[in-house]
Amino acid sequence: MFEKDFLDKLRAESEKWDKSVENAKERNVKFETDSGIPIKKVYTPLDVKSNYFDKVGYPGVPPYTRGVYPTMYRGRVWTMRLFSGHGTPEETNKRWKYLYENGETGFSAAVDALTFNGIDPTNTDGDAEVGTAGVPLYCIDSMFALTEGLPIDKVSVALVVEPFSSAPVCAMYYNMAKMRGLDIKSLMGTTQNDILTMTVGYIPYRNVAPNHLLRLACDLIEWTVPMKNVPRWHPINFTGYNYREGGIDAVQELGFVFASACSHIDNLIERGWKVDDFVNRLAFHLAAHKDFFEEIAKYRAARRIWAKLMKDRYEAQDPKSMEFRFHIQTAGSSLTAQTPLVNVIRTSIQALEATLGGCQSLHTNSYDEAICLPTEEASLIALRTQQVISDESRITNTVDPLAGSYYVEWLTDEVEDRVWKYIDKIEKVGNIAKALDTGFLYKEMRDAFQKRQNRIERGEEIMLGVNKYPVPYDEITQVFRTNELAVEIEKNRIIKLKERRDNAKLETLLDKLRGVCEREENVMPVMMEVTKEGATIGEVCNIYREIWKVWEPPIAI
């Protein structure tokens, strides 16, 4: 990147300087990134090896290292999208309205564990969790209640459900939008639809095997985008965030998402589509964790890797196919239940990483989230954290302001190199379904969270209030409680629905779904029919279980 004469002179100067500080005293800690990359005292132009034009370049131009849009936040700041849901759809709607009135610019539905796992509230294995960790969305009526009075024709909505329940939940949402008079061809939003979230991020409760989940995820992609039913939708959001939270590092996080994304692209190519038909609508969801510069390098490296993958491996022609667009969530696992107000500071720093790194959309955690779902007050502070950055800090004045930092450019290259190697390691096992089935990814996760736990217990990863300046775990002031009546409310919602619907007609349609599942055809067309007729999430997912059988994840302790 620099002239040869200059570099020769610098090399000589650097050797001198290195010698002069050889015996300088340093603290007795490992100077390395969170993912274990060793870090030098200082970086100079000698460390910036890559060609500026090939590897860095301009925002809005491949390889997009500096950002996917030419003007980035000068054009439009990131979408402020707080992942939110609790109790009932009505209560969640109230919280969404509150955040929207306070400047939120996107909605994101955090669903409960029953919605994730496709079970109805009458199931006594899970009935105590109706609405406790997210909003229950079990039938089309829930979608009307969730979005009542909200401008979903203008504001995008993220439905955070995974392949096991994404088809019925999306179909319920699309049907609701149609019945509200909206054209779903212009509907904006995202479905998380991430195979790894409910397999290794969390363990699945009576879901089906990974090869079926992969196909279900691709059914939604195919039906919405290349088949042009909901062409502005993001039908998948590869969610490195969830497994990163489980303990893997920044390099593994990108390795997991890229290996997974390639498996989905391969599936759609097998169905006869070209990458340029759909790849621009695939989105990503990454973490903003504790290592400030490594996270920024990670976002820059991710954009470059994706552009290269699309151009070289998949021979994409459209530059838009090479754009890596991503949502960020600040790291929940960095928060402490001890002195929770410190979490506001942690989240602020992580939000700065996300925005200096060029995210398209951001969730900031509330300070009480190590203990409970957020109170209204805590969620407002989380939103204000983003607004302080967007409206007060002026970091939005220029694009990719950390480019050209010798350290950041070097670290971007270093992260990129390591990610390519890790993608190879996963792909040697096979596609993402095989990497799950063989237990490979479970072992990677387990080893990673064991390592992180050991580091925390040895004090190598500092958590203030826990392993440094510890305080007892009893200082929480206000704990948010979800509605205890939610289970009865949701059971009644389904009873009313069942009284109203044409059960004979629905049975015929559910049989049609059985046939589609047996033949392994795209489930979406019939899913639109069954959910419109009032099928519940449990009724649909039980058909998956019946035809494809329940899968036990290969977990060994």
- CB of 78 or CB of 442, closer to other proteins: 442
Contact with other proteins (CB under 8 A) among 449, 498, 514, 542: 449
Contact window for other proteins (CB under 8 A) among 10-18, 183-191, 368-376, 500-508: 368-376
> What is the C-alpha to C-alpha distance for residues 185 and 231, in angstroms, rounded to an integer?
6
At how many degrees (to 10) do helices 292-308 and 342-356 cross?
30
Q: How far apart are CA 198 and CA 213, in angstroms?
A: 10
The least distance separating other proteins from the CB of residue 445, rounded to whole angstroms, comes to 8
If one asks whether residue 23 binds other proteins (CB under 8 A), the answer comes out as: no
Count of residues in contact with other proteins, rule CB under 8 A: 43
Q: Which listed residue (406, 473, 483, 491) binds other proteins by CB under 8 A?
A: 473
When the beta carbons of 72 and 373 are compared against other proteins, the nearer one is 373
Asked whether 355 and 458 are in contact (CB, 8 A), the reply is: no
Residue 446 CB, nearest distance to other proteins (Å)?
6
To which H or E segment does residue 295 belong? helix 292-308
Q: Which amino acid is at 279?
A: V
- Among residues 482, 522, 531, 536, which is the contact residue for other proteins, using CB under 8 A? 482
Residue 450 interacts with other proteins (CB under 8 A): yes or no: yes
Distance CA 109, CA 111 (A): 6
Instruction: Give the nearer residue to other proteins in terms of CB position, either 184 or 198.
Output: 198
Closest distance of CB 242 from other proteins, Å = 10
Report if residue 457 touches other proteins, rule: CB under 8 A.
yes
User: Could you tell me which stretch among 70-78, 90-98, 374-382, 449-457 binds other proteins (CB under 8 A)?
Assistant: 449-457
Among 328, 485, 383, 382, CA closest to 102 = 383
DSSP character for 319?
Answer: G
Smallest distance, other proteins to C-beta of residue 117, A: 5
What is the amino acid identity at position 226? Answer: P
**441 binds other proteins per the rule CB under 8 A:** no
Give the integer Cα–Cα distance in Å for 189 and 153: 10
Q: Tell which positions 317-356 bind other proteins, by CB under 8 A.
A: 336-338
Q: Which residues contact 130 (CB under 8 A, 6 or more apart)?
A: 112, 114, 121, 136, 486, 487, 490
Q: Which CB atom, from 192 or from 336, has the smaller least distance to other proteins? A: 336
Instruction: Give the binding range for other proteins (CB under 8 A) out of 137-145, 310-318, 371-379, 427-435.
Output: 371-379
Of 118-137, binders to other proteins (CB under 8 A) are 119, 124-126, 128-129, 132-133
Amino acid at 150: L
Q: Which residue has the tokens 């942690």?
A: 346
DSSP annotation of 464: B
Mask: binding to other proteins, 162-201, rule CB under 8 A, as x and -? ------------------------------------x--x
From residue 78 to residue 117, what is the string marking binding to other proteins with x (rule CB under 8 A)? -----------------------------------xx-xx
Does 489 contact other proteins by CB under 8 A?
no
Q: Which is nearer to other proteins, 89 or 131 (CB)?
A: 131
State how far the Cα of 238 lies from the Cα of 201, in Å rounded to an integer: 12
CB 120, min distance to other proteins, A: 12
C-alpha to C-alpha distance for 344 and 380, rounded to whole angstroms:
11
Residue 113: helix, strand or coil by DSSP? helix
* Burial readout 55-83 (b: 16 or more C-beta within 10 A, e: otherwise): bbbebbebbbbbbbbeebbeeebbbbbbb
Stretch that binds other proteins, among 6-14, 96-104, 407-415, 450-458 (CB under 8 A): 450-458
Q: And the tokens for 183?
A: 């054209």
**Smallest gap, in angstroms, from Cβ of residue 257 to other proteins?**
19
Kindly tell me which of 130 and 220 has the beta carbon lying closer to other proteins.
Answer: 130
For position 309 contacting other proteins by CB under 8 A, the verdict is no
265 and 257 Cβ atoms separated by less than 8 Å: no
The nearest distance, CB 450 to other proteins, in angstroms, is: 7
- Please report the DSSP string for 340-369 in residue order: TTHHHHHHHHHHHHHHHTT-SEEE---TTT
Query: What residue spans of 438-502 are helical by DSSP H?
Result: 440-457, 486-500
Q: Which of residues 140-169 bind other proteins (CB under 8 A)?
A: none
Which of 351, 355, 289 is CA-nearest to residue 33? 289
Least distance in Å: CB of 471 to other proteins? 10
The closest of 498, 285, 374 to 96, measured between CA atoms, is 374
431: helix, strand or coil:
coil
Site string (231-270) toward other proteins, x via CB under 8 A:
---------------xx-----------------------
Cis peptide before 525 (omega within 30 of 0): no
Closer to other proteins by Cβ: residue 111 or 419? 111
Shortest gap between Cβ of 553 and other proteins (angstroms)? 8
Q: From CA 108, how far away is CA 161, in angstroms rounded? A: 11
By CB under 8 A, is residue 557 in contact with other proteins?
A: yes
Q: Measured from the CB atom, is 104 or 249 closer to other proteins? A: 249
DSSP 133-177: SSB---SHHHHHHHHTT--TTTS-EEEE--HHHHHHHHHHHHHHH
Site string for other proteins, 491-530 (x = CB under 8 A): ----------------------------------------
Q: Is the dihedral of CA 391, 394, 395, 401 positive or negative?
A: positive
Binding site for other proteins (CB under 8 A): 113-114, 116-117, 119, 124-126, 128-129, 132-133, 198, 201-205, 246-247, 336-338, 370-373, 446, 449-450, 453, 457, 463, 465-466, 473-476, 479, 482, 555, 557
